Amino acid sequence: MGRPCLTIDLTKLEHNARAIVGVCARHGISVTGVTKGTCGHPEVANAMLRGGVSSIGESRLENVRRLREAGVAAPMLMLRVPALSRVEEVVEAVDASLDSELAVLAALSQAARRRGRVHPAIVMVDLGDLREGVWPDDLVPFVRQVLALPGIRIAGLGANLSCFGGVIPTAENMQRLVNCALEIEKTFGIELVWISGGNTSALPLVAAGRMPARVNHLRIGEAILLGRETVHRTPWPGTHQDAFLLHTEVIELKRKPSFPIGERAEDAFGEAPRFEDRGARDRALLDVGREDVTPEGLVPLDPRVEVLGASSDYLIVDVTQARGDVRVGDELVFAPSYAALLAAMDSAYVEKRLVGAPAAP
């Protein structure tokens, strides 16, 4: 087989999606499956849909296009708030978007009107994570202006946590989102259909039965893709953590000192790495590098293998503990973190191989 290679187990992904959709359904929550961690891989989207997600969420228009061209017909939600320069494409390509800027919404309204459509918008509220969203104090005047745009229908309110500020979803901050919705409904006499409470990091709150009942939608990527929640990154019960595996090849294997020889400055990436002198060690160079992965995000399946670091084209691992079992030409396999998965999916040098499911008709 060609290496390096990322295997994508579609049966495990479908199973993971079904597990997440199940726990959410028990609490009245529908799930948008988020494929952006796989650059919008159509078979990943299809596996999520077979597992019961009601729509697909994407952050990039290019990925949306890739999904559509491959025949994924499910409703599509744009997750990254649209750029003003791309409103025409957004209205054309997706069924709804998360939004936070009045100028963008005005342009989306015009673009929708030109097509004789009304574009559904979920207005994002910033609950303190300090990424996208309208500040709660500004929400009522903001919504008043959006309601005056004829090409926009406010489909609901949304929030996103744990992405920039690392703020954890709690019953309290989720209730603040619900209170915002109640205030909007009372002030303007409208009904907000969707209260989109967040991403994977909201799952522990849901499973604990502490998510306020009005929250009826989540956008879930990592828990389906990697089988983990993202507050403590613990495995989610009943899911697989190895739907994606990175297969690499040993291209050099030598016993060398563990401490560099000679006067030292920066490494290839301008960092000054620290080394511990552990004497002579067996070290393997593998055929992936920073161009293909984030080395910090790789967990070797063989616990005797230890990741030391990487340059652009080499991943360097210590295999002393596996002495005799690792040879040049052998395969070493790693479970990727979300960041490592994203990099591997994005790397043109890593083959993507579908396993574990019947070929699409």
Ligand X SMILES: *Cc1c(COP(=O)(O)O)cnc(C)c1O
| DSSP structure class, residue 235 | B
Q: Which of residues 59 and 248 has its CB atom nearest to ligand X in the complex?
A: 59
Q: Which is nearer to ligand X, 133 or 289 (CB)?
A: 133
Residue 78 token pair: 């744009």
Residue number with CB closer to ligand X (253 or 339): 339
DSSP H helix total and E strand total for the chain = 10, 16
Nearer to ligand X among residue 62 and residue 325 (C-beta): 62
Q: Is 216 helix (H, G, I), strand (E, B) or coil?
A: coil
Gyration radius from the chain CA atoms: 23
Residue, CB closest to ligand X: 221
Which residues here bind ligand X, judged by CB under 6 A?
Answer: 34, 36, 59, 79, 98, 160, 199-200, 219-222, 230
Q: Shortest Cβ distance from residue 60 to ligand X (Å)?
A: 11
Distance CA 45, CA 141 (A): 37
Least distance from ligand X to the Cβ atom of residue 260, Å: 38
- The closest alpha carbon to 129, from 39, 202, 229, 236, belongs to 202
As measured in angstroms, the least distance from the Cβ of 69 to ligand X is 22
Minimum distance, C-beta of residue 207 to ligand X, in the bound complex (Å): 14
Q: Do 64 and 85 touch, CB atoms closer than 8 A?
A: no
Instruction: Compare residues 4 and 51 and give the one whose CB is closer to ligand X.
Output: 51
SS3 349: coil
In angstroms, what is the minimal distance from the CB of 74 to ligand X? Answer: 16
DSSP for residue 288 = -
Is-contact 147 97, C-beta < 8 A? Answer: no
CB-based burial of residue 118 (10 Å sphere; 0-12 exposed, 13-18 middle, 19+ buried)? middle
CB 55 to ligand X: min, Å: 12
Q: Which of 36, 186, 254, 352 is catalytic?
A: 36
8 A C-beta contact, residue 315 and residue 307: yes
The whole-angstrom separation of Cα 205 and Cα 215 is 11
* Minimum distance, C-beta of residue 183 to ligand X, in the bound complex (Å): 22
What Å distances lie between residue 155 and 47, 86, 113, 190, 217, CA to CA?
Answer: 27, 21, 17, 10, 12
Q: 10 Å Cβ neighbour count for 7?
A: 18
- The DSSP-derived string for 84-124 is GGGHHHHHHH-SEEEE--HHHHHHHHHHHHHTT--EEEEEE
Positions of E strands within 104-243: 119-124, 152-158, 194-198, 217-220
Active site residue 12: no
Output the six-digit token pair for 346.
């994005």
CB nearer to ligand X: give 46 or 59: 59
Active site residues: 36
